[in-house]
């Protein structure tokens, strides 16, 4: 098993210099749950280098001033860490023998993904997760923001899912990232249209056409969605189209590392998968699914 989506800083906490000891604690917890490798994938938007390049993107999107103000506030609360220091810490952890991949979670910035690719090209990343957390200036998955959550009623569930699906497909087509993180995140607040078949097919086809993997994440069980990402039907469509998968907890603290690893193993097997895909220097490597239980060992790719 893998835990290929891990954050060191909770949302709302000011960023600080990570320490190798923190990564070692993450690994110890993951190993006890049967995970054989972890990936540190902090949000790109939390780093000053991203702020210098992308800060203010919400103003370019136009739309509701209240949503733009909400996006600006969220961004400003989170930015502050240094990307070079983050990378150096993960490389130090690797040098110490920890089975950790160097990654980032990269949001979709409409019309700006070539700039994002240029920023990241000079770093020795193993894996880049691609995410859609906002639709224009609407941070639809910020469950604590009243303005953002009220937008569900104003916009409508069908329109929101259409916009999300389009953005996810555009992200896949950009070629910037390796894995679609929590690919049906639009269900995070519990809102689903009655028919998702065509949208699921578009997501799966986009991943397959552009050589991306998809993430199977336990985080949805901890949200109002009350379901892992992706939904079983979408996971089966990924499998049918030959889209490889990773597994993840999307933890923002030690307590959720490797959350429900055993249940994730059951999900991927049940969908028809016989292996998972890890990454080395952004190249895929097949690994065992494992049992998601204690006693697993790391096998270098």
Please state, in angstroms and rounded to a whole number, the distance separating the CA atoms of residues 188 and 131. Answer: 13
The number of distinct structural domains making up the chain is 1
Q: Is residue 294 part of a domain?
A: no
Structure tokens at 53: 């390049």
Residues 6+ apart with CB under 8 A from 166: none
Residue 293's pLDDT is 54
Rounded to whole angstroms, the Cα distance separating 234 from 184 reads 8
Whether residue 293 is contained in a domain is answered as no
Q: Tokens in use for 69?
A: 């103000």
For the record, the structure tokens of 206 come out as 């986009």
DSSP string across 200-235: HHHHHHHHHHTT-EEEEESGGGGSTT-SPBSPHHHH
Longest dimension (CA), the chain: 53
Instruction: Tell me what pLDDT residue 12 has.
Output: 63
pLDDT digits 0-9 by tens, 225-283: 999 999 999 999 999 999 999 999 999 999 999 999 999 999 999 999 999 999 999 99
Using CA atoms, how far apart are residues 64 and 10, in angstroms rounded to an integer? Answer: 28
pLDDT score of 296? 39
Looking at residue 18, what is its pLDDT?
Answer: 83
Structure tokens at 172: 């896949």
Residue 301 included in any domain: no
The residues near 52 (Cβ < 8 Å, ≥ 6 apart) are none
Which residue, 251, 241, 253, 186, is CA-closest to 214? 241
CATH of the domain at 104: 3.20.20.140
Comparing CA positions, the residue from 236, 164, 229, 159 lying closest to residue 201 is 236
Per the CB < 8 A criterion, the answer to whether 246 and 277 are in contact is yes
pLDDT of 299 reads 36
| Whole-number pLDDT of residue 13 | 65
Structural domain including 114 reads 2-287
Calculate helix-pair angle for 157-174, 113-120, nearest 10 degrees: 50
Phi-psi region of 258 (alpha: psi -120 to 50; beta: other; left: phi over 0): left
Q: Which token pair is 261?
A: 């690893």
Beta strands in the chain (DSSP E): 2-6, 37-43, 100-107, 127-131, 179-180, 213-217, 245-248, 276-280, 283-287
In whole angstroms, what is the distance from residue 90 CA to residue 102 CA?
Answer: 6
> Does residue 300 form part of some domain?
no
Q: Which segments of the chain have a pLDDT < 70?
A: 12-16, 291-301
Distance CA 165, CA 186 (A): 9
Residue 46, in any domain of the structure: yes
Q: How far apart are the C-alpha atoms of 293 and 277, rounded to whole Å? A: 18
Instruction: Please give the Cα distance from 248 to 174 (Å, whole number).
Output: 23
DSSP string covering 15-68, please?
A: P----HHHHHHHHHHHHHTT--EEEEEEEGGGBHHHHHHHTTHHHHH-S-HHHH
Cβ atoms 241, 272 nearer than 8 A: no
Q: What is the pLDDT of residue 62?
A: 83
Residue showing tokens 């269900």: 187
Q: Exposed, middle or buried: residue 297 (CB in 10 Å: 0-12, 13-18, 19+)?
A: exposed
Q: What pTM was computed for the model?
A: 0.94
């Amino acid at each position: 098993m893998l835990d290929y989506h891990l954050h060191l800083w909770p949302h709302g906490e000011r960023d600080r210099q990570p320490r190798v000891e923190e990564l070692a604690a993450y690994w110890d917890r993951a190993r006890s749950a049967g995970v054989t490798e972890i990936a540190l994938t902090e949000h790109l938007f939390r780093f000053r280098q991203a702020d210098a390049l992308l800060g203010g993107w919400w103003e370019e999107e136009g739309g509701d001033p209240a949503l733009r103000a909400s996006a600006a506030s969220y961004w400003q609360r989170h930015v502050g860490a240094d990307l070079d220091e983050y990378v150096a810490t993960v490389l130090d952890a690797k040098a110490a023998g920890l089975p950790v991949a160097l990654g980032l979670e990269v949001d979709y910035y409409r019309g700006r993904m070539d700039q994002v690719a240029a920023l990241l090209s000079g770093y020795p990343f193993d894996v880049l997760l691609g995410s859609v957390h906002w639709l224009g200036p609407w941070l639809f998955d910020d469950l604590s923001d009243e303005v953002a959550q009220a937008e569900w009623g104003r916009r409508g569930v069908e329109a929101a899912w259409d916009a999300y699906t389009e953005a996810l497909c555009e992200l896949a087509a950009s070629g910037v990232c390796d894995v679609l993180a929590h690919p049906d995140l639009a269900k995070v607040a519990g809102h689903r249209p009655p028919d998702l078949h065509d949208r699921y097919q578009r997501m799966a086809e986009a991943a397959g056409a552009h050589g991306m993997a998809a993430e199977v994440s336990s985080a949805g069980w901890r949200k109002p969605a009350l379901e892992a990402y992706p939904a079983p039907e979408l996971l089966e469509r990924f499998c049918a189209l030959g889209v490889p998968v990773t597994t993840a907890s999307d933890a923002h603290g030690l307590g959720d590392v490797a959350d429900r690893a055993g249940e994730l193993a059951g999900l991927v097997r049940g969908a028809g998968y016989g292996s998972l895909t890890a990454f080395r220097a952004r190249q895929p490597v097949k690994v065992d699914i494992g049992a998601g239980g204690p006693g697993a060992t790391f096998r270098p790719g």
